[in-house]
Structure 1
Amino acid sequence: MGELNLLFRKRIGYPQDETVTFEKVDTILEKTAKSIPFENLCIITNKTAAISKENLKNRILLKNEGGLCYDLNTILYYFLIENGFNVSLVQGVVHNHNTKQWSSTGRTHVAIVITYNGQRFLIDTGFGGNLPLKPVPFSGEIVTSQNGEFRVEQSDTEHGNYIFHIKLKHKDQDWKVGYAFNTRKSVDESDLNEVQKIIIEHPESSFNKKPLITRFTDRGNLILTDTSLTEWANGKMIKKDIDPQQFKLIAKEQFGISD
């Protein structure tokens, strides 16, 4: 078993002697969402590094950091490859539900496509609080998890050939578009590094302005910014204001992230 495989299992608390079958991917996704936070601190502190297998292993598995979609889905992609899965990375354009517009940063969302028994499924562990926590089939079938309902629709647009739809539990009354993604173009590390560059530099990037950390819990999820801590638990929201000193303490205690 390779080092990345061993370290990833240790980080998420998955047994090192247990075979990862397709039926166990749900468990991998849940454990990953609860163990590795979605966060942008490297960007805020100007400590980013090139996206590579070695750098991601160092940051996420050895230093116990989190990351954004291109970090989290890429490290999961490498883990799944080491466990014998047929996977590829795809790029997508996020849809803003409030403004009804597509993100001006373009194809800066990165997700995973896994092929099993001739069927394709979308996997995503890098979409903040919108994670399906299960593989979502390309057939259009609705998948239900503790986080809500999810489906993938075949739809040719200028942004791709599929659309990921979400309806979050306790939050959404209706279906909303998560993002459009393109399966026709292969994605490699040069693409990932271009995505990171855009997220760091683009004036309308939502991740280069203020710190954000979020992860799932058994009851919901936690969201930490430099001014507040929000906890969703069993559909109820508790929000409290914090100061910069509290931010560092909470980041360490609740998310395992230190300076």
Structure 2
Amino acid sequence: MQTLTSLFHQRIGLPMNQTITFENLDVVLEKTAQNIPFENLTIIENKTVEITKENLMNKIIERNEGGICYELNPLFYFYLLENGFNAALTNGVVYNHAAEEYHQLGRTHVTILINHEDQMYLIDTGFGGNLPLKPVPLSGEPISSYNGEFRIKKVNHPYGDYCLEMQLKHKDTVWKIGYAFDTKKSIEDLSKLNEIQTIIIEHPKSSFNKHPLITRLTNNGNITLTDTTFTQWADGILTKENIDNVKFKELAKQHFGL
């Protein structure tokens, strides 16, 4: 029986038996971001199932689909555990830049913390186009990837004790808040993920229960598909195309394998 690691590597285009260390984790994160889309189609199509390790493997690895943070990061968390990492899941609150406040859905963003050589890092494979692509140290030291600059800031408010800040390449000229998270509140029970999924499915202010959204990184930018537009960032150049439902299905298959 194949391990999660070998199946996951097959899914993202890495050698099935490649050894994963902290030093080459950035390669895995890049491959994951480019091959597994952030998408909400099961919510829109009313096909969501209980969040379990088996169901996540079936959806993302066997059926070659993507998911939202509460699916993508838990699967990557299981992958990290299988490769000997000291990892934990936690949740946080995403910042709504349009409203200039934290989202009112509560702690619905699921992310990963790892401890490596007595240093804690944030890892995220489920934050749409805002992925750091490298472990981000909680010490505050910024990291740089082809997707931009990312850092962790110590904070003290009800949403957590740290927040992720970012300056996306070609998009941001100042540091922006991504989300706040709490290092003291790890998710020990997968039932918590099902509670989060229920909020995302049912809450009137959820941004994922109204229109389809599919996005993934490319090697020089990112692509995003909704039911009305197809947007591409390539080397800092933005192109946007209005589409209909027929074109949506074509592009979903062509660019995301969905």
Q: CA offset at residue 98 of structure 1? A: 2.2
Secondary structure of 1:180 counterpart: strand
Kept in 1: contact 2:77–2:87 (CA 8 A): yes
Secondary structure of 1:47 counterpart: coil
How far apart in 2 are the matches of 1:14 and 1:85? 19
How far apart in 1 are the matches of 2:23 and 2:64? 27
Corresponding residue number in structure 1 for 2:99: 99
Matched, 1:220 2:221: yes
Secondary structure of 2:184 counterpart: coil
Corresponding residue number in structure 1 for 2:233: 232
1:34-45 correspondence runs (5 A): 34-45=34-45
Corresponding residue number in structure 2 for 1:247: 248
Corresponding residue number in structure 2 for 1:23: 23
Query: Matched residues, percent identical?
Result: 58
Matched, 1:134 2:129: no
How far apart in 2 are the matches of 1:16 and 1:10? 6
Secondary structure of 2:126 counterpart: coil
Aligned length: 257
Task: Structure 1: state its 5+ residue gaps.
Answer: none
Structure 1 residue identity aligned to 2:196: V
Corresponding residue number in structure 2 for 1:73: 73
Corresponding residue number in structure 2 for 1:118: 118
Corresponding residue number in structure 1 for 2:208: 207
How far apart in 1 are the matches of 2:53 and 2:17? 23
Matched, 1:153 2:153: yes
Corresponding residue number in structure 2 for 1:4: 4
Provide, for residues 76-122 of structure 1, a one-character-per-residue CA deviation record: whole Å limited to 9, x for no partner: 01111111111000100000122111101010000000111110100
Q: CA offset at residue 17 of structure 1? A: 2.1
Kept in 2: contact 1:34–1:215 (CA 8 A): yes
How far apart in 2 are the matches of 1:183 and 1:138? 10
When normalised by structure 2's length, the TM-score is 0.98
The ranges of structure 1 where at least 4 consecutive aligned residues each deviate by more than 4 angstroms after the TM superposition are none
Kept in 1: contact 2:225–2:248 (CA 8 A): yes
How far apart in 1 are the matches of 2:82 and 2:151? 27
Structure 2 residue identity aligned to 1:107: R
Provide, for residues 33-54 of structure 1, a one-character-per-residue CA deviation record: whole Å limited to 9, x for no partner: 0000000000000000011000
Task: Structure 2: state its 5+ residue gaps.
Answer: none
Report which stretch shifted further, 43-52 or 3-12: 3-12
How large is the Cα RMSD of the aligned pairs?
Answer: 0.9
Kept in 1: contact 2:231–2:241 (CA 8 A): yes
How far apart in 2 are the matches of 1:110 and 1:18? 27
Structure 2 residue identity aligned to 1:44: I
When normalised by structure 1's length, the TM-score is 0.98
Q: CA offset at residue 164 of structure 1? A: 0.6
Structure 1 residue identity aligned to 2:214: I
Secondary structure of 1:122 counterpart: strand
Corresponding residue number in structure 2 for 1:189: 190
Provide, for residues 165-199 of structure 1, a one-character-per-residue CA deviation record: whole Å limited to 9, x for no partner: 01111111111111000111120201111110000
Secondary structure of 1:105 counterpart: coil
Secondary structure of 1:130 counterpart: coil
Q: CA offset at residue 9 of structure 1? A: 0.7
Structure 2 residue identity aligned to 1:66: G
